[in-house]
């Protein structure tokens, strides 16, 4: 069986048709797709019986309203109003389109370090920089949680044509827990009375993974074309330790400083959905700002995202070092001058900072934050040098139907 996007089965009879829906309540949907997803959890053992699972057809569920009736659309509008009154706080849930994923049954599986991945799209975002999306295997039956993409800043390890291992920074959020929920329900092994537990099949979960690739650093990955095959290995034990600024009430103001490939890490954190893996729950904070510096306008990445982020709660403050004869209506200068030119009002004791800058900007940002009076214990800083990002060791536990993570710096374990 295959489930595409964020909805699932409502009954066994639906296995031979195409469904439409989304887990997120919008003006075009209500909670019915979500109920269908929960129904999958309750009914999974029925699909797992050896008499039935071999005959299941693929079920593709797209996040559109093609088959949503008019009464559901009306009900969905009322649901939105209800949610607004209940939560009373902005949410980042609608900031980005729900990332589609596909769940399918396969006969062979098991945890492996390396899995094949297909290139889905290649987009040139700047001279010598491309955004490459690959289809990654993320099923917990195939990829151990220690090797999975669970924290912004962890580097994807790739092999092209069986060559040497190269590391590339991911610019999409860590994979949602929801994509693996059916896998975890199956792994829990709940079955009806009278059935015998036995391995029947594996669930494969394919999820898009967006990579920011520089030609100068990884030319073999940069040259990939749509449809090419690569090998995706374990995400190495790198990442940003976000615990110092995790508390919403203690740090209602959250500042991002990004330059170079650090903008990819900032994007991954910004676009993580509230209450999901890698999320900082930005929609529930008071003031969130991104200070982003590039050498010149041609090297400003993800410009198409700025307006989307601005429409939510994030305030984007881009700057360039020099115009180089190009059009630019933003700030021209350094991080320091950009900070001085901004209208931010903040309390140093309640301001958290996430720093994702390259080595050239590190000293300047350190001085800026020291002058701003923000205590260093409220920083989350990443080293974007060739050596990688802040080394961390992750201690994970997997419970029945839930995933938890505790990220510990190496120095705390020595």
- The pLDDT score that the predictor gives to residue 268 is 93
- Residue 40 CA to residue 44 CA, distance in Å, equals 5
- Residue 264 CA to residue 152 CA, distance in Å, equals 9
Structure tokens at 275: 């209450």
- The pLDDT score that the predictor gives to residue 149 is 93
- The pLDDT score that the predictor gives to residue 414 is 30
- Residue 324 CA to residue 55 CA, distance in Å, equals 62
Structure tokens at 67: 């088959």
Pairing state between β 166-170 and 155-159: antiparallel
Structure tokens at 184: 């975890």
Scored b (16 or more CB within 10 A) or e, 201-226 reads: bbbbbbbbbbbbbbeeebeebbebee
Q: Nearest-5° angle of CA 230, CA 233, CA 237?
A: 145
Residues 264, 305 contacting (CB under 8 angstroms): no
Q: Nearest-5° angle of CA 278, CA 282, CA 284?
A: 125
Question: Model pTM?
Answer: 0.71
- Residue 193 CA to residue 44 CA, distance in Å, equals 14
DSSP code, position 48: T
Structure tokens at 2: 């295959």
- The pLDDT score that the predictor gives to residue 97 is 46
- Full strand arrangement of the beta sheet holding 379-381: 331-332, 314-320, 287-294, 253-259, 351-356, 379-381
Residues 289, 352 contacting (CB under 8 angstroms): no
- The pLDDT score that the predictor gives to residue 197 is 62
Residues 178, 23 contacting (CB under 8 angstroms): yes
Residues 35, 42 contacting (CB under 8 angstroms): no
Residue ranges of domains in the chain, CATH in brackets: 3-87 (no CATH), 243-381 (3.40.50.80)
Pairing state between β 402-409 and 392-399: antiparallel
Tens-level pLDDT at each residue, the chain (414 residues): 333 333 333 333 333 222 222 333 333 333 333 333 333 433 333 333 333 333 333 333 333 333 334 443 344 444 444 444 333 333 334 334 456 788 887 877 778 899 999 999 999 999 999 999 999 999 999 999 889 998 888 899 999 998 999 999 999 999 988 888 888 887 777 666 666 666 578 889 999 999 999 999 999 999 999 999 999 999 986 677 888 898 988 999 999 999 999 999 999 999 988 778 888 888 889 999 999 999 999 999 999 999 999 987 899 999 999 998 899 999 999 999 999 999 999 999 999 999 999 988 999 999 999 999 999 999 998 655 544 443 333 322 222 233 333 333 333 323
Q: Which of 203, 232, 18 is nearest to 103 (CA)?
A: 203
Longest dimension (CA), the chain: 76
């Amino acid at each position: 069986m295959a489930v595409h996007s964020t909805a699932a089965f409502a009954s066994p009879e639906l296995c031979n048709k195409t469904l439409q829906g989304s887990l997120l309540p919008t003006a075009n949907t209500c909670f019915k797709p979500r109920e269908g997803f929960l129904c999958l959890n309750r009914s999974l053992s029925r699909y797992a019986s050896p008499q039935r699972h071999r005959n299941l057809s693929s079920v593709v569920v797209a996040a559109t309203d093609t088959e949503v009736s008019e009464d559901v659309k009306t009900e969905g509008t009322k649901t939105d109003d209800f949610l607004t009154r209940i939560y009373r706080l902005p949410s980042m849930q609608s900031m980005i389109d729900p990332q589609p994923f596909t769940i399918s049954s396969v006969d062979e599986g098991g945890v492996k370090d390396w899995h094949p991945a297909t290139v889905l799209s290649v987009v040139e975002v700047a001279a010598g920089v491309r955004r490459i999306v690959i289809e990654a295997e993320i099923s917990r039956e195939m990829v151990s949680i220690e090797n999975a993409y669970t924290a912004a800043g962890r580097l994807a390890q790739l092999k092209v044509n069986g060559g040497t291992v190269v590391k590339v920074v991911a610019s999409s959020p860590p994979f949602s827990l929801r994509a693996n929920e059916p896998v975890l329900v199956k792994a829990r092994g709940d079955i009806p009375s009278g059935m015998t537990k036995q391995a029947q099949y594996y669930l494969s979960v394919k999820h898009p993974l967006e990579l920011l690739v520089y030609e100068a650093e990884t030319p073999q990955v940069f040259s990939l074309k749509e449809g090419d095959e690569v090998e995706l290995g374990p995400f190495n034990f790198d990442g940003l330790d976000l615990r110092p600024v995790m508390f919403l009430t203690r740090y209602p103001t959250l500042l991002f400083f990004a330059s170079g490939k650090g903008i990819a890490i900032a994007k991954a954190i910004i676009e993580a959905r509230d209450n999901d893996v890698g999320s900082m729950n930005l929609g529930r904070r008071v003031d969130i700002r991104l200070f982003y510096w590039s050498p010149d306008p041609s090297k400003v990445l993800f410009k198409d995202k700025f307006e989307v982020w601005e429409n939510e709660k994030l305030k984007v403050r881009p700057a360039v070092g020099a115009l180089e004869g190009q059009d630019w209506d933003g700030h021209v200068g350094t991080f320091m001058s950009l900070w001085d030119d901004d209208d931010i009002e903040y309390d140093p004791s309640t301001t958290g900072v996430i720093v994702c800058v390259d080595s050239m900007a590190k000293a300047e940002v350190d001085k800026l934050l020291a002058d701003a009076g923000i205590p260093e214990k409220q920083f989350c800083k990443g080293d974007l040098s060739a050596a990688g990002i802040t080394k961390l060791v992750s201690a994970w536990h997997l419970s029945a139907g839930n995933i938890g993570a505790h990220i510990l710096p190496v120095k705390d374990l020595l």
